[in-house]
Structures are given as C-alpha cells and as structure tokens.
Amino acid sequence: MNLSPRQVLGHIVKHALLEGVSVANSLISMFGGFGYVEEARYLFDHMDDRDAISWNSIISATAQNGQWREALGCFNDMRTIHTAPNSTTLSILLNACSDFERYKWGKGVHGLVVKSGFSTDVLCRQYSLEYVFRGRQMSRC
C-alpha cells in the first residue's frame, strides 16, 4: 500500500501519533527530504514545543527545496522566538546561500559563524571555506 505524504500526515494527525518533539522533528525532516515542504511546515506550525532540532529541520526542509527566503525567515524567527543558532543551523544556511544570487546573505551568515565562534566546527568550516572560495571566483567575474 503506497500512501501519499498527505495521507501519512492525515493518519498521524487522526490517530494522535504526533506525540513528542523527536517524532515531529523526524517527520519534518522526512517530508522536507521528499520535497513536501507544505506538510513539513504544517507539522512545524502545529508543534506544541520546539527545540533547536525542530528549527534546524524546518530551515533545512525549506532551504534544500529552493525556498531560501523562507529558510532565512525561519532563521530570523528562530533567533527571535527560540534561542541562538547552533553550528548546524549556520551550516545549513551557508550551504543555502552558496550561489551568486544569495551571496550577500551568505556574507552575513559567514560573519555570524565567525562571531559565534563556530569557525572551528567541521561543517561550518567546510561551508565557510567553500563560501569564501566561491566569493573569490565571483569577484573575478
């Protein structure tokens, strides 16, 4: 039996299976990974409690599906509503802002990586180096 993501979501809601933050976080990541951002956003918006993983999951779901403005909006909400971003959050955003169209946004994220002391984190360091390298290539154009 093949279920669509909306049917899976309906089943989860109908049978009250959305207990606990970790279940919701996993589902947000799953829906985002399959490109079903609306379903991921629905789950996120209806969570009673959110942790850093919840925020990272929705930021990643939107960013990996080309909705980088939405990802940056979620990041802004995270900083306003929740807590400071962690290295995973910044790695997701650096990756999302790695092309020419979003380069100026990436500069701000890169600055936050350095300011927050995450420049030694492996993922942040990798994406920061890629970001700086791409910036140098773009400045030659």
Global confidence as pTM: 0.75
Q: What is the model's pLDDT at position 31?
A: 92
Residue 24 lies in a domain: yes
Q: What is the model's pLDDT at position 141?
A: 43
Residue 11 lies in a domain: yes
Alpha-carbon Rg for the chain in angstroms: 16
Q: What is the model's pLDDT at position 70?
A: 92
Shared domain for 2 and 58, answered yes or no, is: yes
C-alpha distances out from residue 67 to 27, 36, 82, 105, 107, Å: 19, 12, 21, 14, 18
Residues (pLDDT < 70) of the chain are 1, 16-18, 98-111, 113, 116-141
Q: What is the model's pLDDT at position 128?
A: 53
Q: What is the model's pLDDT at position 60?
A: 94
CB neighbour burial string for 16-43, b if at least 16 within 10 angstroms, e if fewer: eebeeeeebbebbbbbbeeebbebbbbb
Residue 124 lies in a domain: yes
Residue 79 lies in a domain: no
**Structural domain of 28:** 1-71
What is the tally of structural domains in the chain? 2
Shared domain for 124 and 60, answered yes or no, is: no
Cα–Cα dist 110/113, whole Å? 5
Residue 76 lies in a domain: no
Identify the burial level of 79 via C-beta atoms within 10 angstroms of its C-beta, where 0-12 means exposed, 13-18 middle and 19 or more buried. Answer: middle
Which of the listed residues 50, 71, 92 is the one where a domain comes to its end?
71
Q: What is the model's pLDDT at position 5?
A: 73
How many Cβ atoms sit within 10 Å of the Cβ of residue 55? 26
